[in-house]
């Protein structure tokens, strides 16, 4: 072998390779994303990133998975400190908190109006991220709620799927008692430090902690009162397994210890993460209160993507969100089937996946159902103090279960909320 | 004569001396004095996030009408009143037991009891959370030996959650205080005990009348340190309750409330600064009281 002939060729190849690397290194952009829930937001963002990288090979994604509380607290810390280095390019914000961030950190988020065509999204979602005529953020998922139940446990207790349709909360508690008597399983998991269920029930009857003008709406709030009474009945009937914190609560149903879960549609990915439970789950509309304005539809959570104004990759981040989340209807079909993500892009509803049966839920057309319920969710004003009101509610739950009259509990909640929102 | 003058007023005009301490003084001014003064200024402002406005004494007035603040203050003082005496007493008893030279495996026990305070705060909180879960090892054990019929709701009942926090901090910090007492006990002259033993003083009286009085300066020191630690309690509660101070704000401490005001609720840095000054005042007051009490007994 003649080394001298090969050597220059090898050297030039190496040189070419090195310069190629240098060029791509200079052009490559990495977009950092903060979000929570590995079975849902994280997985969906990875899918979205993969789609964008296919057409834009120079852009890569670094998707960081935190707990939701950690994302919120890290974001708030970073924004308050004023050092942008510690912040991501794109961050996921739950709808309850959107106005809080927009109002208290003006200039921190990049306005997307002008780039994104917001007419294609559910209007309530766009309204949540509008401040002084500017729209921030990319609308993402809806938190339309459903009652997920274990068909096998309910069958053992003598109930058919028809028995779960259109029930009231009193009936739900009745069923829960029988399920426990026949199967020894509790009906649901309940974390007394989380007011999520209170929020679901309250919104299903068209009310919120705050009225349309953002003023506290506690003592005269019939829906809040009825929802506290319902929680009290559930506690008194002892049809729940207590959970301390989110992961503990998730454990109540992934372990098969409880017969039902009432929460937002985004839990589907977590429910489906247990392949051995395939075919055992069904989905029904949530139970309704027996008061005026009561419906079987509600919302819990739901979130949207926001681009940081300080981001070095701001242009790429906005373009990425616009390309995938505002235009790619096919993307929404994939994340619906894989993760149960009901997006707020209206055009996506016409896609094939919404009409398909899901084998995990025994061949039910669950997506069609969620889509129908979504249209019926009563719209409310979340205001900017949901965290404060939530804390006040959870603070009073033990008093309620120890027999304090519900009107007094409402007064105590009102006093705490009024003191907190200055 | 010249030396005396330089040691007096002349020393303050020595440029070289000032140059030597200037870097340290600069750093202290930048990283200690400035933040303290700035937070004091902030405590007179109010508003959402970065939109702060001067508000006079509004934040101080707000303290009195804020049920959550009152709750956090009560909780913090409850921890202080219940936990610090238990821990100090426990540490004293353990120290005097482990000071006994005849005890077999002294080194092992000393290490074992001291070990908790070198473990990571987060790790041990998470471990406690698992152990005291509804179907965790503690409830399972208590049920198995027949002490309880129903699992204790350690993390979901306001009373038991407080008990759990007290258990956790006692577990962690008793060994730390014990080491101080052990060190001090080694310095007590053994002949004092010998005399007492010859005079027929019983063991308990030797403990209360010799050991405790001679340890008084160390007890004062550990009490002050523990007071400061308890009034500033944050990590255990944050990690045991997922940052909420629940259930029902029963475990909420002042520090956690400051954190919530800053990072979880609508951020109000002004009000949070006011609450942190409450801690400053509280610690200063309690430390003064303890020093005063100790001095009284000396006379």
Q: Which of residues 113-132 of B touch A (CB under 8 A)?
A: 129
Kindly tell me if the per-residue pLDDT of A22 is higher than 70: no
Kindly tell me if the per-residue pLDDT of B4 is higher than 60: no
> Facing residues of A305 across strands?
A92, A138
Task: Report H helices in B30-120.
Answer: 34-42, 58-64, 67-98, 106-114
A347: nearest Cα among A368, A367, A365, A332: A332
Interface test with B, best of A393, A420, A421 (most B CBs within 10 A): A420
Asked if the C-beta of B135 comes within 8 angstroms of chain A's C-beta atoms, the answer is: no
Interface test with A, best of B247, B258, B273 (most A CBs within 10 A): B247
Q: Number of A:B CB contacts under 8 A?
A: 107
A41-92 pLDDT, tens digit each: 999 999 999 999 999 999 999 999 988 888 988 898 888 887 778 899 999 9
Beta-carbon separation of B50 and A69 below 8 A: no
pLDDT, residue B31, reads 94
Name the more confident of A26 and B205: B205
- Give the contacts of B7 (CB within 8 A, at least 6 positions apart): none
Q: What is the pTM of this model?
A: 0.80
What angle, 0 to 180 degrees and rounded to 10, lies between the N-to-C axes of helices B158-186 and B67-98? 40
What's chain A's Rg over C-alpha atoms? 24
pLDDT, residue A387, reads 86
pLDDT, residue A87, reads 92
Kindly tell me if the per-residue pLDDT of A244 is higher than 50: yes
The whole-number average pLDDT for the span B249-266 is: 89
ipTM of the complex: 0.74
Beta-carbon separation of A394 and B51 below 8 A: no
Beta-carbon separation of A243 and B242 below 8 A: no
Beta-carbon separation of B266 and A384 below 8 A: yes
For CA atoms A294, A297, A299, A304, give the dihedral sign.
Answer: negative
Q: Which long-range contacts (CB under 8 A, 24 or more apart) does B92-97 make?
A: B92/B181, B92/B211, B92/B212, B92/B215, B92/B219, B94/B174, B94/B175, B94/B178, B95/B178, B95/B181, B95/B182, B95/B185, B96/B181, B96/B185, B96/B207, B96/B211
Name the more confident of B11 and A325: A325
Distances (CA, A) of A57 to A37, A328, A364: 26, 18, 39
User: How far is Cα A89 from Cα A306, in angstroms, rounded to an integer?
Assistant: 8
The whole-number average pLDDT for the span B240-268 is: 86
Name the more confident of A305 and B297: A305
Residue of A nearest to B266 (CA): A100
B144-175 pLDDT, tens digit each: 998 888 888 888 888 999 999 999 999 999 99
Angstroms from B151 CA to nearest CA on chain A: 11
Name the more confident of B46 and B28: B28
Among A106, A395, A422, beta carbon nearest to B248 = A395
Q: How confident is the model at residue B1 (pLDDT cuts 50, 70, 90)?
A: very low
Residues of A in contact with B244 (CB under 8 A): 193, 391, 394
Taking each continuous run of H as one helix and of E as one strand, the counts in chain B are 16, 2
> Facing residues of A134 across strands?
A131
Residue of A nearest to B161 (CA): A244
pLDDT, residue B85, reads 93
Residues of A in contact with B66 (CB under 8 A): 419-420
Beta-carbon separation of A416 and B67 below 8 A: yes
Among B48, B129, B247, beta carbon nearest to A104 = B48
Distances (CA, A) of B204 to A341, A367, B179, B207, B209: 69, 75, 21, 5, 8
For CA atoms B33, B35, B38, B42, give the dihedral sign.
Answer: negative
Kindly tell me if the per-residue pLDDT of A156 is higher than 80: yes
Classify strands B45-46 and B53-54 as parallel, antiparallel or unpaired: antiparallel
What angle, 0 to 180 degrees and rounded to 10, lies between the N-to-C axes of helices B216-231 and B269-298? 170
Helix (H) or strand (E) segment spanning residue B16: helix B15-28
Beta-carbon separation of B266 and A104 below 8 A: yes
Interface test with A, best of B266, B268, B270 (most A CBs within 10 A): B266
Beta-carbon separation of B51 and A104 below 8 A: yes
If one counts every other C-beta atom within 10 angstroms of the C-beta of residue B150, the result is: 7
Beta-carbon separation of B269 and A80 below 8 A: yes
Interface test with B, best of A196, A250, A398, A400 (most B CBs within 10 A): A398
**A225 and A393 Cβ atoms separated by less than 8 Å:** no
Q: Using H for helix, E for strand and C for coil, what is the string for A276-296?
A: HHCCCEEEECCCECCCCCCCC
Among B50, B133, B246, beta carbon nearest to A193 = B246
Angstroms from A101 CA to nearest CA on chain B: 8
pLDDT, residue A350, reads 81
> Facing residues of A242 across strands?
A190
Beta-carbon separation of B156 and A73 below 8 A: no
pLDDT, residue A422, reads 72
A123-154 pLDDT, tens digit each: 878 888 998 889 999 999 889 999 999 999 99
- Measured between alpha carbons, how far apart are the two ends of chain A, in Å? 83
Among B158, B265, B267, beta carbon nearest to A80 = B267
Angstroms from B245 CA to nearest CA on chain A: 9
If one counts every other C-beta atom within 10 angstroms of the C-beta of residue B52, the result is: 16
B15-24 pLDDT, tens digit each: 888 899 999 9
pLDDT, residue A379, reads 83
């Amino acid at each position: 072998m003649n080394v001298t002939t090969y050597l220059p060729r090898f050297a030039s190849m190496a040189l070419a390779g090195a310069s190629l690397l240098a060029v791509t290194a200079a052009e490559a952009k990495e977009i950092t994303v903060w979000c929570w829930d590995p079975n849902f937001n994280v997985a969906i963002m990875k899918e979205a990133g993969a789609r964008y990288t296919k057409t834009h090979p120079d852009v890569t994604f670094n998707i960081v998975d935190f707990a939701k509380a950690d994302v919120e607290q890290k974001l708030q810390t970073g924004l308050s400190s004023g050092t942008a280095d510690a912040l991501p390019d794109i961050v996921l914000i739950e709808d309850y908190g959107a106005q809080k961030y927009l109002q208290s950190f003006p200039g921190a988020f990049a306005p997307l109006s002008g780039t994104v065509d917001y007419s294609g999204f559910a209007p309530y979602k766009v309204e949540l991220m509008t401040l002084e005529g500017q729209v921030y953020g990319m609308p993402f998922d809806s938190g339309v709620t459903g009652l997920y139940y274990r068909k096998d446990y309910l069958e053992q207790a003598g109930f058919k799927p028809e028995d779960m349709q259109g029930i009231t909360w009193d009936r739900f508690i009745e069923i829960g008692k029988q399920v426990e008597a026949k199967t020894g399983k509790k009906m649901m998991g309940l974390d007394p430090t989380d007011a999520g269920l209170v929020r679901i029930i309250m919104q299903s009857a068209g009310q919120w902690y705050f009225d349309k003008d953002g003023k506290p709406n506690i003592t005269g709030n019939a829906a809040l009162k009825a929802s506290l009474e319902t929680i009290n009945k559930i506690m008194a009937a002892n049809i729940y397994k207590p959970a301390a914190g989110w992961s503990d609560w998730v454990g109540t149903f992934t372990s098969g210890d409880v017969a039902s879960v009432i929460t937002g549609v985004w839990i589907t990915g977590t429910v489906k993460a247990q392949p051995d439970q395939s075919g055992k789950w069904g989905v029904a509309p949530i139970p309704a209160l027996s008061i005026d304005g009561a419906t079987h539809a509600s919302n819990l959570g739901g979130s949207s993507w926001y681009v940081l104004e300080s981001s070095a990759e701001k242009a790429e981040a906005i373009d990425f969100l616009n390309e995938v989340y505002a235009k790619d209807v096919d993307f929404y079909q994939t994340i619906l089937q894989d993760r149960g993500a009901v997006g707020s892009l209206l055009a996506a509803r016409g896609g094939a996946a919404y009409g398909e049966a899901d084998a995990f839920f025994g061949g039910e057309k669950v997506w069609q159902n969620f889509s129908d319920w979504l249209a019926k969710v009563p719209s409310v004003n979340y205001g900017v103090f949901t965290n404060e009101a939530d804390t006040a509610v959870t603070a009073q739950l033990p008093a309620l279960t120890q027999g304090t009259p519900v009107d007094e509990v409402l007064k105590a909640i009102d006093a705490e909320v009024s003191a907190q929102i200055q | 004569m010249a030396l005396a003058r330089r040691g007096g007023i002349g020393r303050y005009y020595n440029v070289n001396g000032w140059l030597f301490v200037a870097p340290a003084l600069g750093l202290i001014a930048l990283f200690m004095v400035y933040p303290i003064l700035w937070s004091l200024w902030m405590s007179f402002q109010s508003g959402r996030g970065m939109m702060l406005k001067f508000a006079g004494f509004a934040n101080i007035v707000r303290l009195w009408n804020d049920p959550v603040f009152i709750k956090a203050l009560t909780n913090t003082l409850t921890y202080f009143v219940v936990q610090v005496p238990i821990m100090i007493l426990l540490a004293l008893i353990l120290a005097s037991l482990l000071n006994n030279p005849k005890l077999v495996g002294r080194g092992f026990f000393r290490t074992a009891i001291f070990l908790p305070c070198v473990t990571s705060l987060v790790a041990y909180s998470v471990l406690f959370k698992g152990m005291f879960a509804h179907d965790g090892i503690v409830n399972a054990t208590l049920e198995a030996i027949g002490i309880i019929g129903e699992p204790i709701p350690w993390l979901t009942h306001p009373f038991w959650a407080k008990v759990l926090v007290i258990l956790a901090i006692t577990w962690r910090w008793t060994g730390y205080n014990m080491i101080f007492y052990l060190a001090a006990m080694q310095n007590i002259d053994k002949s004092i005990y010998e005399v007492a033993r010859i005079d027929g003083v019983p063991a308990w009286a030797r403990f209360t009348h010799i050991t405790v009085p001679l340890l008084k300066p160390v007890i004062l020191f550990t009490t002050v340190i523990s007071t400061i630690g308890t009034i500033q309690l944050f990590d255990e509660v944050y990690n045991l309750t997922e940052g909420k101070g629940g259930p029902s704000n029963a475990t909420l401490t002042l520090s956690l409330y400051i954190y919530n005001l800053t990072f979880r609720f609508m951020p109000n840095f002004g009000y949070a600064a006011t609450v942190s000054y409450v801690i400053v005042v509280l610690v200063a007051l309690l430390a003064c009281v303890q020093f005063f009490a100790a001095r009284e007994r000396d006379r």
